[in-house]
Amino acid sequence: MDYETPQFFRVMQYAARADRDVVDMVSGNPDWDPPEGVRDGLRDYAEADADAFQYAPSRGLKSLREEIAARRGVDVSRVVVTNGAGEANHLAMTGGMDHFPGDEILLTDPVYPYYAGRASFLDAETTIVSVDEDGHLDPDAVRAAASEETSVVVVNSPNNPTGAVYGADAMAEFVAIAEEYDALLVSDEVYDHFDYAGRFTSALEQDSPNVVATNSFSKSMAITGFRVGYAVFPSPDGPAGDLVDRAGTRHMLTNVSGSRPAQYAVERALRTTSPEYYAKCRRRLERRIDTFCGALDAAGAEYNRPEGGFYVMARFPEFAGSFANVYELIDDAGVAGMPGEAFGESRSDWIRFALVTPRIEEAAERLAAFFE
Ligand SMILES: Cc1ncc(COP(=O)(O)O)c(C=O)c1O
């Protein structure tokens, strides 16, 4: 698989050019509203003084970093605000490669393709660990694959694309493995608010110098276009203390700083959004999961009901998860998903559907009719 060329746009463009109405379930762009605080923050910002229109502090608005630090229970010196979780993952992975011995990145199969693309352009060796049939990542399999060569292990829970949520024991084991092999665990927690199993555990629960947790507000506040994320690095006073400074410098050299109005609006929303906003988002997605999984049953498909996140992977009888078949589904069923082969060999028979459209019921009916 060529991970260096992101494939999402290829499928989205095919769907956009289709000669018929298509329900777009390709990428993870939420279709619901952000919290009111985001809009309020933006409105106020338009009237701010001229100095508010200039560079933000490079590592992020201090008040936003403080708010994040308080929520994550860490010292503010460990927080760098980034352009989404994408940049946070980049800083964490490159920092881990530089700081820790070895030149290998351990990834899972299936994998969020941007991790694999990044590993490839960093010229890192990659070792792939297959997840279980149910989408869970077995710590014993990770331990068996790790070696002195491993410098970075990347995990993602709730997981894109499998929907698995790793439990506290598994997360503790992943941290322990990183410590044993003198490596960095990069824990991408971008779907933390979408945990239907009540099992999500942050890697930060383990107080370890071998962990960087990455996150963003793209999904939790439905603002993928704002580009506000963050990474929590090991304490600057500890054995991996250089990671945060190195990341701060790289972030500055690349971006100067992140978007100031976007950070301002996110901070406002963090302070004003009630837990009910997030609970409502979860309930909406759980209803969609019920509807969609019901249709998959009707279509005779195999799938794992997601425990978290907003993707469902399905395997239809005698219909591989290839680009050709996904294009056929677009043309003949009017539903666009992502070919499983884009996420790794183990899921090449599967297709991933993102539940980020109000038209789930319609998509479900179309799929059920197509595979009837
Ligand atoms: C697992 C995972 N990590 C990171 C990202 C990127 O997040 P952001 O928009 O905050 O860069 C995504 C987006 O789909 C994702 O699924």
Q: How far apart are CA 99 and CA 184, in angstroms?
A: 9
Cβ atoms within 10 Å of 107's Cβ, excluding its own? 25
pTM of the full predicted structure?
Answer: 0.97
Q: What pLDDT is stored for residue 9 in this prediction?
A: 84
Counting from 1 in the atom list of ligand 1, the atom nearest the Cα of 309 is 16
Q: How far apart are the CA of 204 and the centre of ligand 1, in A?
A: 19
Q: Describe the chain by its helix, strand, coil percentages, rounded to 5.
A: 45, 15, 40
Q: How far apart are CA 71 and CA 80, in angstroms?
A: 14
- Contact, 42 vs 357, CB < 8 A? no
Q: How far apart are the CA of 190 and the centre of ligand 1, in A?
A: 6
Instruction: Using alpha carbons only, give the angle 322, 350, 215 rounded to the nearest 5 degrees.
Output: 105
Q: How far apart are the CA of 341 and the centre of ligand 1, in A?
A: 19
Q: How far apart are CA 152 and CA 99, in angstroms?
A: 10
Closest CA to 237 of 100, 75, 57, 60: 75
Counting from 1 in the atom list of ligand 1, the atom nearest the Cα of 86 is 11
DSSP 226: T
Q: What pLDDT is stored for residue 68 in this prediction?
A: 98
Q: How far apart are the CA of 233 and the centre of ligand 1, in A?
A: 18
Counting from 1 in the atom list of ligand 1, the atom nearest the Cα of 27 is 14
Q: What pLDDT is stored for residue 372 in this prediction?
A: 81
Q: How far apart are the CA of 51 and the centre of ligand 1, in A?
A: 31
Residues with CB under 6 A from ligand 1: 28, 84-86, 112, 156, 160, 188, 190, 216, 218, 224, 229
Taking phi over 0 as left and psi of -120 to 50 as alpha, with beta for the rest, 344 belongs to: left
**Per-residue pLDDT for the chain (372 aa), expressed as one digit of tens each?**
777 676 888 899 999 999 999 999 999 999 999 999 999 999 999 999 999 999 999 999 999 999 999 999 999 999 999 999 999 999 999 999 999 999 999 999 999 999 999 999 899 999 999 999 999 999 999 999 999 999 999 999 999 999 999 999 999 999 999 999 999 999 999 999 999 989 999 999 999 999 999 999 999 999 999 999 999 999 999 999 999 999 999 999 999 999 999 999 999 999 999 999 999 999 999 999 999 999 999 889 999 999 999 999 999 999 999 999 999 999 999 999 999 999 999 999 999 999 999 999 999 999 989 998
Instruction: Using alpha carbons only, give the angle 19, 20, 22 rounded to the nearest 5 degrees.
Output: 125
Q: How far apart are the CA of 89 and the centre of ligand 1, in A?
A: 9
Distances (CA, A) of 286 to 6, 194, 337: 29, 10, 19
Whose Cα sits closest to atom 13 in ligand 1?
Answer: 28
Q: How far apart are the CA of 359 and the centre of ligand 1, in A?
A: 23
Pocket residue to mutate for ligand 1, from 25, 112, 338, most atoms within 8 A of Cβ: 112
Domains of the chain: 8-34+275-370 (3.90.1150.10), 37-272 (3.40.640.10)
- Contact, 104 vs 247, CB < 8 A? no
Q: What pLDDT is stored for residue 8 in this prediction?
A: 82
Q: What pLDDT is stored for residue 186 in this prediction?
A: 98
Cβ atoms within 10 Å of 209's Cβ, excluding its own? 16
Q: How far apart are CA 8 and CA 193, in angstroms?
A: 24
